[in-house]
Structure 1
Amino acid sequence: MDAQRCWEIVEAARSEAGTDWDNLDESLGVALRDQLVRLSLTEIVEFDAQFGVLQYHVARDDLFMAAFLIHNGCGDDSFSDFCAGVVGLGRQWYELALADPDNLAGHPAVQGVAAGTVNISVLLTERFQFAPRRALKQVAGDDRSYYEALDRAEQAGLPVGSPAGAAPVPPRRLERLAAMFPEQQASLELFYPDLTVVGG
């Protein structure tokens, strides 16, 4: 499965999930699982590999800063969920975020968080992140078949799960997000001075 086919599946799930931002994780998780259970075990494993690569590219310091600002703090597990959440916004927003994380300031879910009308955890999509594994278990039917499929993927050289993270980027300030979340920006500068340009 190539990246284009992976995106087609993600976009189908994104379309089905709709714009109820407070239930984004649940709706995306269900929609993606429903898309994947139509595939073979091999195709699901291949999707999971491509999905992990998409998350890997988001795992950058400047996108960690965006996650910290939007969600009022961000640990390792939360950042992994956030990386999946950016994928879950669909290809257009994913590419905008990669080009400049400050572009997330224009997304209606993030604007809703700033306005207090959307749950602060909106892009922390754990259920969506692990939907491929749930689909694989459902199609495999038992744990043995599930682990055998993962073993075959590793033997074939496919990455299993999300890679650790992408290359670091130079310190910077996300101006639009900082303006939307000024208290979080102050905390970010306090706890992560190496990532920010204080007073920039």
Structure 2
Amino acid sequence: MDEDSFWTLMEGSQQQAGDPDQRLEALREQLMQRPLAEIVQFQSCLHRVRRRIDTWEMWAAAEQIHGGGCSDDSFWYFQFWVVGLGRELYEKAVADPDSLAEAPELRRLAGRPLKTWSDGEWPDWESLDYVAGEAFDMLTGEEEGLEKALEAEGLDNPCNPEPSGEAWDVRNVDEACRRLPRLSRMFPLTG
């Protein structure tokens, strides 16, 4: 599965349903209609795509949006959420994490207290990392079969962020305002 096919599947699920759980169901069904090798390739592609936004700048964006409390796990789930926005917004975010300020999903959250965000609105999508494994297991009846298939192919299936780029204190309010001016205005942090 190449990256174009990956994005076709991702965006197809987005067009079929807006709710994250419904999108996962649509994606799972699509994957289950494909050969096992393509499910393995989907997972590998998901992590190649995710890796491009595993940066300190993107972690700072997540930190800003999450109100200054973005853990390792939260950043990991945030990365899958960015992938779930679709190719166009994702590519803009790769080039400039501050461009996430253009995402309608975030614009709806700006100015609202975090405690009012529903589960479906939170900018995280942990379950996207599991959908290929679920499809693989359902087809084969083998628990953790995708993990074994990835390993057999010599493919990496990471489970934690390892940000690239210049490391900096993503909780430094002044630096975040300088590097992410739009997100800082939408989701202001205090020092």
Instruction: From 72, 75, 85, give the equivalent of 1:76.
Output: 72
Q: 1:165: how far off? A: 2.9
- Checking the alignment, whether the CA contact within 8 Å between 2:75 and 2:161 is kept in structure 1 is no
The match for 2:157 is 160
In structure 2, relative to structure 1, the CA distance for the partners of 1:162 and 1:58 (3 Å cut) is: farther
In structure 2, relative to structure 1, the CA distance for the partners of 1:137 and 1:152 (3 Å cut) is: closer
For residue 63 of structure 2, give the secondary structure of its aligned residue in structure 1.
Answer: helix
The match for 2:183 is 177
The match for 1:92 is 88
TM-score by length of 2: 0.82
The match for 1:139 is 139
In structure 2, relative to structure 1, the CA distance for the partners of 1:165 and 1:28 (3 Å cut) is: farther
- Checking the alignment, whether the CA contact within 8 Å between 1:49 and 1:160 is kept in structure 2 is yes
Q: 1:14: how far off? A: 1.7
In structure 2, relative to structure 1, the CA distance for the partners of 1:94 and 1:162 (3 Å cut) is: farther
Q: 1:118: how far off? A: 5.1
Given residue 154 of structure 1, which amino acid in structure 2 is its aligned partner? E
Q: 1:158: how far off? A: 2.0
Instruction: Map residues 5-84 of structure 1 onto 2, 5 A cutoff.
Output: 5-18=5-18, 23=19, 25-72=20-67, 73-84=69-80
In structure 2, relative to structure 1, the CA distance for the partners of 1:165 and 1:16 (3 Å cut) is: farther
The number of aligned residues is: 177
TM-score by length of 1: 0.79
CA distance in structure 1 between the partners assigned to 2:47 and 2:154 by the alignment: 14
Extract unaligned runs of 5+ from structure 2: 169-174
CA distance in structure 2 between the partners assigned to 1:152 and 1:138 by the alignment: 14
Cα RMSD (Å): 2.2
Q: Deviations over 1:168-192 (max 9, x none)?
A: 236552000101111x3x2xxx5xx
- Checking the alignment, whether the CA contact within 8 Å between 2:81 and 2:125 is kept in structure 1 is yes
Greater helix fraction, Structure 1 or Structure 2: 1
In structure 2, relative to structure 1, the CA distance for the partners of 1:135 and 1:161 (3 Å cut) is: farther
In structure 2, relative to structure 1, the CA distance for the partners of 1:170 and 1:127 (3 Å cut) is: closer
In structure 2, relative to structure 1, the CA distance for the partners of 1:152 and 1:26 (3 Å cut) is: closer
Given residue 77 of structure 1, which amino acid in structure 2 is its aligned partner? D
Give % identity: 33
The match for 1:193 is none
In structure 2, relative to structure 1, the CA distance for the partners of 1:39 and 1:163 (3 Å cut) is: farther
Given residue 167 of structure 1, which amino acid in structure 2 is its aligned partner? S
CA distance in structure 2 between the partners assigned to 1:30 and 1:14 by the alignment: 11
- Checking the alignment, whether the CA contact within 8 Å between 2:65 and 2:187 is kept in structure 1 is yes
Q: 1:128: how far off? A: 2.1
The match for 1:198 is none
